[in-house]
A and B are shown apart, each in its own frame.
Chain A
Amino acid sequence: MNDILQGLAEAARLTVTLDATLVDITLRSLQVSLTATVIAAAIGLPFGALLAINRFPRRRLVIAILNALMGLPPVVVGLLVYIMLSRAGPLGVLGLLFTPTAMIIAQVIIITPLIASIAHQAMRDLWADYHDLLISLHTTKRQRIRALLWDGRRALLTAALAGFGRAIGEVGAIMIVGGNIDNVTRVLTTAIALETGKGDFGLALALGFVLIALAILVNLVMHVLSRTERDSRW
């Protein structure tokens, strides 16, 4: 209990004084996870809509696999990306291992199925409502997907935020592919793991509180920017 109070006090001190190291790793956390979320959303949202609209053989199997991949263990993803990017691996010449780019790649792989799966659920319900209208208007497939994505944008925002939440709190994969290098690939979660290893629970907890505050802040900002939950709008 004492540790928690100490952590809160330390978190407040670090935040109020804008501790340089804290600002640095916080920005890097945001950089990595927001980039990963944008890329994963660009892949996952259209893919989810496509799955809702398209009928093709083995569709159920694809959806079942997608849903299963939501629970993809980050540490396995990290290991696979590590093996691919290692100098001894097939993509070693790119020299990407232990860079923020490698961390973004790992996080994109982790959160794309999650975003696609949530998007698919939302789009499926919407498609049931829009099906007759869009078919009768002789829309192309591309137009249908765009109409669904636009009209379901708030549900899709939730999908993207769920992806972001998983990315920003993830430690297993980015520890392996990023290496937790000070000033280069150290982010909030890997710093927490490091401070815990040093037995410095106060600082580790403080970073944890900063991480939670950051996740809340990003969610609020996204809602304000997209004008959800306001007045009479849904």
Chain B
Amino acid sequence: MKLKALFAALAAVWMASSALAEDMKMAVTTSFANSGLADVLLPQIAEDTGIEVHLLIVGTGQALRLGQAGDVDAVLVHARAAEEAFVAEGSGTHRREIMYNDFVVIGPAADPAKIAGSGSAADALRAIEGAKAAFVSRGDDSGTHKKELSLWASADVAPEGDWYRAVGAGMGAALNTASGMNAYILSDRASWLKFGNKGDLALLYAGDPVLFNQYAYMPVNPAKHPHVNIDAATKLEAWLTGDTAHKLIDDYRINGEKLFTFNATAQ
């Protein structure tokens, strides 16, 4: 047996593991990563600050749990009530708004429930429920899922029945399911624009102010988890709220459409 050759090969593979720079872990929502914005921001962050940001791409609910357990150094999510609870319980030091985009209602281009031109997001959801048209829900406690549930509540409709399908998956996987079933779905605009498997789906409703989608950044509290890299988290916050981030976020476009709007304020 040429064991030596085998071990040499193993050693070579082992050595290929990446070297360590100053790095930090940040839990972000699927929309931040799937939109492609992360690919634009991260290299610039590394260049300007020397910080390698390691992204954990999960739903908002899981991102906040990772922060609570101290498994990440910061979180960037979009669910205001849950974020405020996160800071109030001492898991995060503070909440800093970074940027926003909006949620959109996607559905089959033929629009069987006739939601295009609805007066409000609640009207659109009521029309879907009235027509019992298939609707795919994230069902994963993410920011988008929380928003969807609050919209159903405001429409005074309990989403139940065969037509309502909770898939318990990320934005992309849920969009794939909706595409396969030709169903309606609530998505953030960025994920929808970047999504590559649109099939017969089309953007049918957008524009209601309740569909506003604010992203906020929260460093994990070093008083609760002494091992977190608060220096890097603070540096990253300064960068995310600074001019370079402002320009990159506002200029980021897919097919000519603007995805995010920077709205961080100086403290």
Contact = CB atoms under 8 A, between A and B. Distances in A.
Contacts of A153: 1
Nearest to A29: B13
Q: Range of interface residues on chain B?
A: 35 or more
Interface stretch (B53-61, B125-133, B230-238): B53-61
B227 A95 contact: yes
Interface stretch (B140-148, B192-200, B241-249): B192-200
A200 B195 CA distance: 8
Interface in B51-90: 52, 54-57, 68-71
A134 B142 CA distance: 62
A98 B170 contact: no
B211 interface: no
User: Taking chain B's interface residues, is the majority helix, strand, or loop, or is none over half, making it mixed?
Assistant: mixed
Contact of B195 (A182, A198, A227): A198
A170 to B, nearest CB: 18
Interface string A30-65: 110011001000000000000000000000000000
Given A30-B13, A35-B14, A95-B227, A197 B173 contact: yes
B16 interface: yes
Interface string B171-196: 11101100100000000000000111
A146 interface: no
Interface stretch (B2-10, B149-157, B256-264): B2-10
A182 B175 CA distance: 23
B230 to A, nearest CB: 14
A181 B69 contact: no
What 8 A-B pairs come out closest when comparing CB atoms? Answer: A197-B172, A199-B197, A199-B196, A87-B70, A88-B69, A181-B54, A179-B56, A27-B16
14 contacts: A27-B13, A27-B16, A30-B13, A87-B71, A98-B54, A181-B55, A182-B54, A183-B54, A184-B18, A194-B57, A197-B176, A199-B175, A199-B176, A199-B197
Interface of A: 27-28, 30-31, 34-35, 38, 86-89, 92, 95, 97-98, 100, 153, 179-184, 194, 196-201, 225-227
Interface of B: 1-2, 5-6, 10, 13-14, 16-18, 25, 30, 34, 52, 54-57, 68-71, 170-173, 175-176, 179, 194-198, 225, 227
